Structure 1
Amino acid sequence: MRDPRRPAYKEPGNDEFRPSLPEVYASVKVPVGGGWLRRFLAFAGPGYMISVGYMDPGNWATDLAGGSRFGYTLLAVILLSNLMAVLLQALAVRLGVATGRDLAQACRDHYSKPVNFALWIACETAIVACDLAEVIGTAIALQLLFGIPLIAGALLTALDAFLLLLLVNRGFRLLEAFVISLLVIIAVCFALQIVAASPPIAQVLRGFVPSPQIVTNREMLYVAIGILGATVMPHNLYLHSSVVQTRAYGQSVEARRDAIRWATIDSTIALTLALFINAAILIVAAAVFHASGHNEVAEIGDAFRLLSPLLGLGIASTLFAVALLASGLNSTVTATLAGQIVMEGFLRLRLPSWARRLITRAIAIVPVVIVTAIYGEKGTGQLLVLSQVILSMQLPFAVVPLVRFVSDRRKMGVFTINRWIAALAWLVTGVIIVLNVKLLADTLLF
């Protein structure tokens, strides 16, 4: 019998329906009826896994650079990027629930083999750039806390493939609980630092109002697009459209409509937490470094060394490093899972789960180790910011197919987005593309 959640479209010549992440597909029970709290809790989880990518070590580099150089000005970019993320992740949820396909599978169904191969390469490039930030960030945290050399720390991050395998084998809920626990640690660490920094509230609020300088100042634009790339991550769109299908939400139109509603609420709340943490990093950098004249703090190591003396709180640097380690562990786990989804969706590889995850991790970690070996401790801040700009360059290759699919009634049926949301989604896509073109022009011509 055909799965009713199978999309109306399919890959030519292939009648087999293979769900995304088959080992955990529809593995989390959703209560039928009952109060709103039970249903909300049943869908709570995937949004927090997605939010991890919005506060990874790449965000730290761009937020530190933005706060130390330009004060609170780029808070507006963080807010705008977060609003874009809320919309795009809601569209990813809609695609996954309505069609039973993740974004990679939907691309494979729709596009020709050459186009799919190009999209896969673009996505893998984004994952490598993401892992560059995450592995370096985790390695730096291990070095700051335990004195482990950068190369050894980078190699240790490969163990997250086994950690992911262990957690998934014990149930997807345990993986979500692990991720949420680390998020709580990050939030507590930065809440304490915000209290200690005591930033001027009026300047902070003014920073959330967009300034023309963001576009006219080339250096500010570079960091701003880095923040955009660090916030709206292309692999998160693939990941969210898949992990939302871990819920056994039923097969009827009403059940899927309800699933979309609760999953969207889950991701919106989780991304609000990500907004707080990203803003907190930039606010701390502005209040501590920019206010004291340290305008060139882009290196995480420099921030660690300066934070406690400038803030006058002995534990501040340790809290900073602990939060960085939690962020790195979280983001490498979710990026590895996203890599598996992308590889399976585009290439339809049939491999054991442990082999898929090791291959996915190896594709990303090898260039990371090479880059770390070449640059060592010098220039890691610039590398992290550059990795986020590369991520931003890859965004259109994920966003354009996503918006196109959820706007297509032949694919989505009654779940097609309305014209107003489609117009807003295309506007967001246009803003992303225009900002990237301007950055490229500035980089090549000046």
Structure 2
Amino acid sequence: MLTRPDQAADPAEAAASPMGPLPEGRSLPEMHRSVVIPNAAGWLRRLMAFIGPGYLVAVGYMDPGNWATALAGGSAFGYTLLSVALLSSLMAMLLQALCARIGIATGRDLAQLCRDRFPRPVNLALWALAEIAICATDLAELIGTAIALQLLFGIPLLAGVLLTALDALLILWLQHRGVRWLEALVAGLIFLVFGCFGIQLVWAQPDWAAVLNGYLPSASIVTDQQQLYIAIGILGATVMPHNLYLHTAVVQSRAYGNGGAAKREAIRFATIDSSAALCLALLVNSAILITAAAVFHAGGRTEVAEIQEAYELLTPMVGTAAAATLFAVALLACGLNATVTATLAGQVVMEGFLGLRLPAVVRRLVTRLVAIVPAVIVTWSYGTSGTAQLLILSQVVLCLQLPFAVIPLMLFASDRTRLGPLVAPRWQLVLGWATTMVIVAMNLKLLWDVVAG
């Protein structure tokens, strides 16, 4: 079998047991450097070879957990909180750009870097928190997918949750075909969601002058306690911990060169990829909020927060049954996409923190079960009536874990001994640490408010 030089077998990897520790294991080995970069091609063709990982990451920024906060914000306050959605997306673009940088510069994902740097007790604690965060993320995604299946086909909620376990087989099949197939599926579903809400916006007929004005910060967001609470919820639901781990791994699927110039180009193209994908995620989240504002807030229904309630109200308030159907189709696409990427993130976290190498089928089943078992238990306990509480619970758990992913990310992005000349520019570090402090403060405030009732 012919092997490219950049994919030569690692001696440490070859010596390791297939079921034992993998000291220098590659992140997502099925994907690692599997996409060839055309050396002699022009700038645009080389850029296109890097397009894809950003869309895997962008999925986490439009999952069902984001839908709940966008619906609540749009129905209660109209277009005012669009500025918070914009700020959240700008923060996400910066953090994901830093993820791409450290993944490409070091050849390690965030979980592997934590295992390299921190003592074993700290590493195990970070692994446990990351697994809990992925379970919480998957909980919202599984519930969202199950709700969509219930709305579209009448499938019971618990059965819908169990059906989503089949995504593990879908990932195995797509990865066997190549990472580009997986990226194409995810990107295609994202554009389907975008198209559904594009049609919704035409039917909703929003006040576009008010929409544009909504992207400008308003003092009422700070002075009005209820607006501030929902704004914190939007911020807290935007940056997902598993996305930080996932992005540092998936950028290594490109076979860029090992030299400094090649890595700088890879960082630049990967940043363009993730920023463009997150712009699309911003448009989707904005469309959800704008639809809620134009339909529910303008119609006097200012307390719509549950997905099922929004679905039931869309048809009578918009005037066409297709509006509710498109809403459910978009929700299903978002939920399926998010569960796929959460499963990949579970693999990154388990292999990166623990250094274990498992057969592909076993690894998929383990990472899927780690997330789906808690979702099945909680769904069985709460049922349909508890879905809103489940979404809130998932966001609170993410609030607890987020600092333990963002702070290590910033530590590694600032580490000149590891990144060398590829260390993040000073302006990115300053903005990154400021963003970290804002996210941590906002999430702690949200957590305190929830605990305090």
Match of 1:402 in 2: 409
Distance (Å, rounded) in 1 between the aligned partners of 2:437 and 2:404 = 12
| Cα pair 1:299 1:379 within 8 Å, conserved | no
Match of 1:279 in 2: 286
Query: Which range moves more in the overlay, 14-23 or 67-76?
Result: 14-23
Q: Does 1:191 align with 2:198?
A: yes
| Aligned residue among 100, 108, 113 for 2:115 | 108
Kindly provide the amino acid, as one letter, of the partner of residue 342 in structure 2. A
Give CA-to-partner distance per residue, 1:410-441, whole Å, 9 cap, x none: 01001011222211110000111221232344
Distance 1:443 1:328, change over 3 A: closer
Q: Does 1:129 align with 2:136?
A: yes
Match of 1:435 in 2: 442
Query: Which range moves more in the overlay, 363-372 or 129-138?
Result: 363-372
Match of 2:218 in 1: 211
Q: Does 1:300 align with 2:307?
A: yes
Match of 2:44 in 1: 37
Unaligned runs of 5+ in 1: 7-13
SS in 2 for 1:210: coil
Distance 1:23 1:319, change over 3 A: same
Distance (Å, rounded) in 2 between the aligned partners of 1:245 and 1:225 = 33
Counting only pairs closer than 5 Å after superposition, residues 277-426 of structure 1 correspond to structure 2 as: 277-426=284-433
Q: Does 1:77 align with 2:84?
A: yes
Query: Which range moves more in the overlay, 210-219 or 57-66?
Result: 210-219
| Cα pair 1:140 1:301 within 8 Å, conserved | yes
Deviation at 1:15, TM superposition (A): 9.5
Distance 1:135 1:307, change over 3 A: same
Distance (Å, rounded) in 2 between the aligned partners of 1:322 and 1:19 = 36
Match of 1:120 in 2: 127
Match of 2:14 in 1: none
Deviation at 1:444, TM superposition (A): 4.4
Query: Which range moves more in the overlay, 131-140 or 31-40?
Result: 31-40
Deviation at 1:297, TM superposition (A): 1.2
| Cα pair 1:183 1:326 within 8 Å, conserved | yes
Kindly provide the amino acid, as one letter, of the partner of residue 138 in structure 1. T
Q: Does 1:149 align with 2:147?
A: no
| Cα pair 2:23 2:355 within 8 Å, conserved | no
Distance (Å, rounded) in 2 between the aligned partners of 1:38 and 1:364 = 38
| Cα pair 1:4 1:251 within 8 Å, conserved | no
| Cα pair 2:66 2:237 within 8 Å, conserved | yes
Deviation at 1:5, TM superposition (A): 12
| Cα pair 1:288 1:310 within 8 Å, conserved | yes
Match of 2:235 in 1: 228
TM-score (norm 1): 0.94
SS in 2 for 1:73: coil
4+ runs deviating over 4 angstroms? 2-6
| Aligned residue among 166, 173, 177 for 1:166 | 173
Give CA-to-partner distance per residue, 1:101-122, whole Å, 9 cap, x none: 0000011101011111111122
Distance (Å, rounded) in 2 between the aligned partners of 1:272 and 1:294 = 29
Distance (Å, rounded) in 1 between the aligned partners of 2:62 and 2:114 = 27
Distance (Å, rounded) in 2 between the aligned partners of 1:425 and 1:206 = 27
Deviation at 1:184, TM superposition (A): 1.3
Distance (Å, rounded) in 2 between the aligned partners of 1:5 and 1:202 = 57
Distance (Å, rounded) in 2 between the aligned partners of 1:70 and 1:377 = 27
Deviation at 1:207, TM superposition (A): 1.6
| Cα pair 1:299 1:382 within 8 Å, conserved | no
Query: Which range moves more in the overlay, 413-422 or 256-265?
Result: 413-422
Query: Which range moves more in the overlay, 115-124 or 97-106?
Result: 115-124
| Cα pair 1:229 1:390 within 8 Å, conserved | no
| Cα pair 2:74 2:292 within 8 Å, conserved | yes
Match of 2:97 in 1: 90
Distance 1:225 1:354, change over 3 A: farther
SS in 2 for 1:428: helix
Distance 1:416 1:4, change over 3 A: farther
Deviation at 1:312, TM superposition (A): 1.3
Distance 1:215 1:397, change over 3 A: farther
TM-score (norm 2): 0.93
| Cα pair 1:225 1:392 within 8 Å, conserved | no
Distance 1:410 1:189, change over 3 A: same
| Cα pair 1:407 1:422 within 8 Å, conserved | yes
CA RMSD of aligned residues (A): 1.9
Match of 1:265 in 2: 272
Kindly provide the amino acid, as one letter, of the partner of residue 239 in structure 1. L
SS in 2 for 1:185: helix
Distance (Å, rounded) in 2 between the aligned partners of 1:287 and 1:302 = 16
Q: Percent identity?
A: 63
Kindly provide the amino acid, as one letter, of the partner of residue 363 in structure 2. R
Number of equivalences: 438
Query: Which range moves more in the overlay, 222-231 or 165-174?
Result: 222-231
| Aligned residue among 248, 254, 262 for 2:261 | 254
Kindly provide the amino acid, as one letter, of the partner of residue 244 in structure 1. V
Distance (Å, rounded) in 2 between the aligned partners of 1:353 and 1:281 = 37
Give CA-to-partner distance per residue, 1:353-404, whole Å, 9 cap, x none: 1111111111111111121122211131232134224323322111111111
Deviation at 1:4, TM superposition (A): 11
Unaligned runs of 5+ in 2: 10-20
Match of 1:11 in 2: none
